Structure 1
Amino acid sequence: MTVFHSLVIVLLLGTLLNAYVPPRIFPWFNMLSLAFPVLMILNVGMILLWIVLWKKRAVVFLLLSLFLINPVKRWINFSTTKEQRGNLKIVSLNTKGGLLYGYEKIYDYLKNTDADIILAQEYSTEFNVQGYQYQTDSYEIVALNSKYKIIRQGKIATVGNGNSFFADVEVHGKTIRLINVYLSPFSFEKGKVKPTEDLDQNKVKLRYVIRKLVPTFKNHQDEVADIKKAIAESPYPVILAGDFNAVPNSYEYYQIGKNLKDVFVETGTGSATSFHDYKFPIRIDYVFCSPEIKPVSYKVDRSVKLSDHYPVITEFKID
């Protein structure tokens, strides 16, 4: 049992290496980020068992687990930030092309949020919410609607099936660069992912998943490099949002979020999981901002089902 628990801790700590090791060199650390919630549940369960058994090794495992506080907060957080009123409200939503519930329902919801800026990913037609005067050009599957003037915009060159762009927006006398991110999807066939009671079938499905994951991780590495460059070269503070098709503590998370604040970690409470198409919920939608921008709130709105993603609503204080 001690050996097993030690292995769990080693695997959990291995996810920290995603901050340094790119998928083209060693993609298996990125695989560990997918298993992080399950491994963490095992870790907590084992620590509780050692405490019940009154074993001193519980202290050792507790101390090692302190290195995992921030990685856990990227999934589940209890922010102590006092609620304030923001003056910039942003909604980000992967619309799934309007295939599940239709664009009329999506547009009605987004209009009723009274957001200042809407970021959409994976849309299939012209994206135009009533009441929003400014829209970005067509960048394929990613779009932005704004009540504030867009003064400049441009595509961020990426490989694979992802797409990203930037839009510089005038907000309360300041210019903010909005970056809308959609990294290449894995495009799993659900029937080939769902586990069965047949062990041989599960082995086939595992090989299928790995064949999908590894090449996409490598594509993400190139896409992330282009997005990082756009952030670094921005003359303005940045708010970055979208669908990463990557979980917290992954290479994608560490690299894109470098030198930015994860708005959920700063102000969110509860779970940040936003993708609900599988039985096991995961977080692949994010909002980040530059240090000079003050985030006020972060909410995943699970009261509605508009696609296989829940909307992410954030507020900021722009002085």
Structure 2
Amino acid sequence: MSTGWLLLGVLCQYVPPHLFWPAGFIAMSLPGALVLNAVLLLLWLWQRPLWALLPLLLLVLTWSQHTRYFTLNTPDAQPEPEDQRIKVLSYNVRVFNVYGHLHAHDPGLPEKEMTWVAEHPADILCLQEFYHDKTDRTYNSRKRIGKEQGREVYVGKALVNHIGAEFGLAIFTRFPVLSKGTVTFDRPTKNQVIYVDVKLPSEDTLRVYNMHLESMAIEEKDVAEAVQSETGLKTKGRNIARRLKGGFIARSHQVQRLLEHIEASPYPVLLCGDLNDIPSSYTYQQLRRQLNNSFEAGGSGFGFTYNGSLPLRIDNQFFSPELELLQFDVRQQIQFTDHFPVEATYLLTRKDF
């Protein structure tokens, strides 16, 4: 049974949920199958060593699935000149905690967060749930993160409210911007992907994408209520399942459009952002077939990026083979929002694309 569960979970990563939505739930359960297989391996090694051959074989065959969740990479020496490195920050800033309930426990939180982001040494910043209000010193993010720090900015506006404040995605860069644009989806949504082509000091061009795909649309308190009682499981559980289904389907459409755009890029690609999906999902698998994942290549430990009780890694950086990853880190000590910042340093290793 455990063998079938594991193999089916791996297979379902390749099935688009918009064609068969149950595949999304089966793929989502894959971490449980991986843990069960590891437990069985240890159990049989202790009691019946011959029986351990099957879970051992499965462990070897699915090793790349395990390293999506846990890695033990060690930093390499970095002899490359500092001016050739590309330092990148990807961060869901949660509208800089502008709403009162987000900073009720610490009125100074928005200013602390804005200062930390603005003064970050990254050459490229990809910010999700971005917020800008030019009338307010604290939230004048275009100026504070951009102009005052010598960075150009491109904002993909999902919404402009009644006071003219902007919500959406933003890419800030110290490299000259050659062109910019938006990846359009085939269905109405506030989620989006934006990109810029930047000229590096090496005279090469790099395309940087910032993504925020369809939300999981679930709350931790709903999950807690669903598991605490039979009534909660029937009411909250059904609602959670419905929302997850909608998210699986929406992201499977969105990632197809995104990949079409990436495949047409004339330049090496760096893709950052909030995937809103886990490493065993169809969405992640599709991106991983085309690009390298920075956590898998250079991370250490579990690399959880969600700042909450649910152990999730949903914020990612993916990169083309023409880029070399020098360093990767999830800054779990930075707890301004419900996401942790994701940092990486790259080197473009080839020219004449």
| TM-score for both structures, normalised by structure 2 | 0.83
Correspondence for 1:165: 194
Residue 207 of structure 1, aligned match among 235, 238, 243: 238
Residue 249 of structure 1, aligned match among 280, 284, 304: 280
Tell me the amino acid that sits aligned with residue 177 of structure 1. Answer: R
SS of 2:290 mapped into structure 1 = coil
Q: Structure 1: how far apart are the matches of 2:36 and 2:236?
A: 24
Tell me the amino acid that sits aligned with residue 32 of structure 1. Answer: I
Tell me the amino acid that sits aligned with residue 190 of structure 2. Answer: N
SS of 2:216 mapped into structure 1 = coil
Residues 300 and 311 of structure 1 are in contact (CA less than 8 Å); yes or no, is this contact kept in structure 2?
Answer: yes
Correspondence for 2:294: 263
Quote the offset at 1:16 in angstroms: 2.1
Q: Structure 1: how far apart are the matches of 2:195 and 2:92?
A: 17
SS of 1:124 mapped into structure 2 = strand
Quote the offset at 1:193 in angstroms: 1.9
SS of 1:122 mapped into structure 2 = strand
Quote the offset at 1:271 in angstroms: 1.6
Correspondence for 2:162: none
Does residue 43 of structure 2 align to residue 45 of structure 1? no
Quote the offset at 1:266 in angstroms: 1.4
Q: Structure 2: how far apart are the matches of 1:215 and 1:267?
A: 32
Q: Structure 2: how far apart are the matches of 1:298 and 1:267?
A: 5
Residue 118 of structure 2, aligned match among 102, 111, 118: 111
More displaced stretch, 219-228 vs 84-93: 84-93
Quote the offset at 1:170 in angstroms: 0.9
Residue 98 of structure 1, aligned match among 96, 99, 118: 96
Correspondence for 2:69: 75
| TM-score for both structures, normalised by structure 1 | 0.91
Q: Structure 2: how far apart are the matches of 1:155 and 1:283?
A: 25
Quote the offset at 1:273 in angstroms: 1.2
1:250-307 deviation per Cα after TM superposition (whole angstroms, max 9, x unaligned): 1100112322111111122212210122x22101011011111111111000111021
Compared CA separation, residues 281 and 184, structure 1 to 2 (3 A) = same
Q: Structure 1: how far apart are the matches of 2:284 and 2:64?
A: 13
1:97-154 deviation per Cα after TM superposition (whole angstroms, max 9, x unaligned): 1223544222221233311110000123354214043000343311111111111000
Residues 220 and 310 of structure 2 are in contact (CA less than 8 Å); yes or no, is this contact kept in structure 1?
Answer: no
Residues 33 and 248 of structure 1 are in contact (CA less than 8 Å); yes or no, is this contact kept in structure 2?
Answer: no
SS of 2:4 mapped into structure 1 = helix
Tell me the amino acid that sits aligned with residue 170 of structure 1. Answer: K
Q: Structure 1: how far apart are the matches of 2:221 and 2:269?
A: 39
SS of 2:234 mapped into structure 1 = helix
More displaced stretch, 104-113 vs 211-220: 104-113
Q: Structure 2: how far apart are the matches of 1:204 and 1:148?
A: 51
Residue 10 of structure 1, aligned match among 4, 9, 30: 4
Compared CA separation, residues 14 and 161, structure 1 to 2 (3 A) = farther
More displaced stretch, 86-95 vs 308-317: 86-95
Correspondence for 1:288: 318
Correspondence for 2:265: 234
Unaligned runs of 5+ in 2: 104-108, 134-140, 159-167
Unaligned runs of 5+ in 1: 1-6
Tell me the amino acid that sits aligned with residue 194 of structure 2. Answer: F
SS of 1:13 mapped into structure 2 = helix
- Runs of 4+ in structure 1 over 6 Å off: none
SS of 1:136 mapped into structure 2 = strand
Q: Structure 2: how far apart are the matches of 1:125 and 1:10?
A: 50
Q: Structure 1: how far apart are the matches of 2:209 and 2:290?
A: 15
1:164-201 deviation per Cα after TM superposition (whole angstroms, max 9, x unaligned): 11100111211100010100112224432214432232
More displaced stretch, 177-186 vs 51-60: 51-60
Q: Structure 2: how far apart are the matches of 1:98 and 1:81?
A: 31
Quote the offset at 1:81 in angstroms: 5.8
Tell me the amino acid that sits aligned with residue 123 of structure 2. Answer: D
Q: Number of aligned pairs?
A: 312
Does residue 168 of structure 2 align to residue 139 of structure 1? no
Quote the offset at 1:34 in angstroms: 2.7
1:120-139 pair list within 5 angstroms:
120-125=127-132, 127-128=141-142, 129=145, 130-139=148-157
Residues 81 and 266 of structure 1 are in contact (CA less than 8 Å); yes or no, is this contact kept in structure 2?
Answer: no
1:225-267 deviation per Cα after TM superposition (whole angstroms, max 9, x unaligned): 1111110111100000100100002110011232211111112
